[in-house]
């Protein structure tokens, strides 16, 4: 028979740590009182000492430091994509919108359309309308 792993909220962990620090109780006493192991309580305390308020962010939430890191990684990824678009486009910003739309159409499997449109200063709705538009007789010549 397997035992279900217990989950403790951040508030519960903080209250347990306060019993040790503020009330002067030992880890063993608090562990027996709350029905948790002394080693678990010690690991919560050491984590609290290292990280402070960010020690127990909660289920699915990142600590402030981890959230900032994830934000930087995402921004770095976006900037690398923009750099790739600008390298491949080779001066399309100075060209007509039709040429920019052609570039976006031919590279939309590589990069997201909205990102290319934003980088090349074109409207994404205009691009999708351009795709649906039939070719004019003038451009066929």
pLDDT in tens, 30-44: 888 888 888 988 888
Q: Name the nearest CA neighbour of 34 among 48, 14, 16.
A: 16
Q: Report whether pLDDT(82) > 80.
A: yes
CA angle 84, 85, 88 (to 5 degrees): 85
Whole-number Å distance between alpha carbons of 120 and 104: 9
The pLDDT assigned to 58 comes to 67
Cα distance between residue 39 and residue 18, in whole Å? 16
Maximal CA-CA distance, the chain: 90
């Amino acid at each position: 028979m397997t035992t279900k792993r217990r989950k403790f909220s951040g508030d519960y962990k903080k209250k347990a740590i306060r019993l040790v620090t503020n009330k002067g109780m030992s880890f063993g006493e608090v562990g027996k009182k709350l029905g948790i192991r002394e080693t678990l309580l010690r690991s919560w305390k050491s984590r609290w000492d290292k990280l402070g308020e960010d020690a127990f962010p909660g289920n699915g939430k990142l600590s402030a430091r981890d959230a900032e890191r994830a934000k930087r990684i995402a921004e770095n990824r976006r900037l690398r994509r923009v750099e790739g678009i600008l390298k491949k486009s080779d001066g399309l910003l100075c060209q007509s919108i039709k040429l920019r739309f052609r570039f976006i159409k031919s590279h939309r499997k590589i990069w997201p359309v909205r990102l290319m449109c934003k980088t090349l200063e074109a409207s994404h709705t205009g691009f999708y309308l351009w795709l649906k538009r039939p070719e004019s007789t003038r451009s066929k010549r």
